[in-house]
Amino acid sequence: MTSLRAAIFFLTRIPIGLGRQSPSLSQRAVSWFPTVGALIGSVIGLIYVGLFQFLPSAVAAALAVGFGVGLTGTFHLDGHADSDGAIGDRATIERGLEKPGNSRLRTYGTSTFVLVLLIEMAALATLGPWVGFTSLVAAHSAGRSATVCVMTLTRKAARESLGIDGVSELKRLQSFVGICAGSTIVIWVTGPIGFLLLVLAIPATALTWAWSHRVLGRTAAGSLGAIAQLSQTSVLVGAVVLNDGACACSW
């Protein structure tokens, strides 16, 4: 299970020692991203369920989302802010292609960073503990599935942006298995509406990908972070719509 540990190491701030990494290990780790996303969502969901028993839903949601930010080290949020900052401030392509972790947030990027967090907190606060738990699992898994899909379609760009050895040779079969695993998890935990939740992740993925190519000229590291984050947020908002009676779905 070394590849699973590698995926956890890459997507979270959990100190897991891996020793020497090989290109093949990086390839296998990417296919685990959707599953690790589901695990991250599960942990955040459990925090929300526990806090929901003692605190108002808004406070519980804020603390749970805040815990998730600490657990992931703002990995996708940082890329999202970098990408939006480059676009909003009309920066050069070179600045837009910086790797996540530079953390030189600009006004536009900071604003979207905060807005995304507020939307997630507000969406989660409207959901009950069990629905909130399943929605978080689905959202985090779908967000990573979207990233794996884009990474597979733009393997060379993903390798240069993220600096992960072996991603440029990422096998489509491995990625397909990972995406299928993530999709299965979404449908398993949310039921029939899981199909619609997966569909809701597509517009955010496609639009961010297209906008990245138009403004930055390629799929940058920040673009992948933005894809994961916006897909995740879209699914969480979609869970509110589908579970709160706003959508007249027969089920």
DSSP 8-state symbol, 100: T
- Look up residue 211 and give its two tokens: 């906008």
Please give the distance of CA 76 from its chain centroid, rounded to a whole number: 6
* Whole-number percent of the chain with pLDDT over 70: 67
Name, in order, each residue with C-beta under 8 angstroms of 91's C-beta and a sequence gap of 6 or more: 85, 106
CA 213 – CA 133 distance, rounded (Å):
35
Tell me the pLDDT tens digit for each residue of 57-91: 999 999 999 999 989 876 555 544 454 444 444 44
The pLDDT of residue 61: 96
Burial class from Cβ neighbours inside 10 Å (0-12, 13-18, 19+) for residue 5 reads middle
Tell me the pLDDT tens digit for each residue of 150-197: 887 775 555 554 544 445 556 677 788 889 999 999 999 999 999 999
Instruction: Work out the end-to-end distance of the chain between its first and last CA atoms, rounded to an integer number of angstroms.
Output: 38
pTM over 0.75: yes
Tell me the pLDDT tens digit for each residue of 109-152: 567 778 889 999 999 999 999 999 999 999 999 999 998 888 87
